[in-house]
Amino acid sequence: MGGGKGGSDFDPKGKSDSEIRRFCVAFMRQLSKHIGADTDVPAGDIGVSGREIGWLFGTYRQERNKFEGVLTGKGLTWGGSLIRPEATGYGVVYYVEQMLKYAGKGTFAGKRVAISGSGNVAQYAALKCIELGATVVSLSDSHGCLVAEGDAAFTPEQIENIADLKVQRKSLTEFDHKGSFMYIKGARPWTHLGKVDIALPSATQNEVSKEEAEALIAAGVIAIAEGSNMGCTQEAIEVFEAHRKEKGAEAVWYAPGKAANCGGVAVSGLEMAQNSQRLSWTREEVDQKLKDIMTAAFENGLNTAKEYVKGGENELPSLVAGSNIAGFVKVARAMHDQGDWWN
């Protein structure tokens, strides 16, 4: 899918639909010269939904006179894949399932899950957690957070209502939360939780600080996995890793986003495969492939940590080190085999 990573400084908040469309068209007219199905393949992210992908893809098609898998997250009637919108959220939950299984901590059933964000990743992570029997106790956006009070929890219907608000570019302040949820303006949920078992930062980068990491440990979290890219600060990661080394099997176990949230990129790859073969897999087929990919990502990081990380380790290997080393080794071996360096 290429190694390119980028975006723009255009903020869609407060812009009209026409302004957003005009920007997408102008942006792709320039970007189209540098991307392709076998070069670099962009996908949606913060502020870029299926609507924007459609405008970008339409412009690419007009500029290059090609109908190919150059963007992922496309609509189902023009080259998209089932499960692609859900992929990152579902994927992080499938990854945590493997963490719980390995650690002997059961399944999602009966677990209390704190989630940040209320966009695509957070919504589908919440829905999958609920489907697996967990209780989702928080969501957030850039204006503040909602935290369940007492035994309250989000229902699938409430998640759908929040999704509708987000499509309209409204904030969580518009959600009818009285009686079940506490809305905290200008805050993230991590320091406002009661007992919680699993944390899924799914909003944006650097959203869990050192102090918030300590608060999550105090709340009883046994697993934290990043649904967002670089959701935890380096100081927070150091807190989690120190706790893991000190407490062993009873510690919090942290999974970095480069492994835990790869489901979106994985299904982007599956979307491209379907585009290349001119076929469409069923929802069940794509979902099973996603589960298999997330299981492989977990096992790869786990086994790499066991192989390379020596000294001071215990029952729960470092998924940070394992994922970093696994990625490095894969690239290094490919570079060696292709002659970029040799012995």
One-letter amino acid for residue 207 of the chain: E
Whether 253 and 222 have beta carbons less than 8 Å apart is answered as yes
Where does residue 238 rank: exposed (0-12), middle (13-18), buried (19+ CB within 10 A)?
Answer: middle
Active site (catalytic) residues = 5
Q: Which of 337, 332, 333, 327 is nearest to 305 (CA)?
A: 327
Residue 278 CA from chain centroid, whole number: 28
Contacts for 24 with CB less than 8 Å, ≥ 6 apart: 52, 55, 56, 59
Whether 106 and 148 have beta carbons less than 8 Å apart is answered as no
**How far is the C-alpha of 72 from the C-alpha of 284, rounded, in Å?**
19
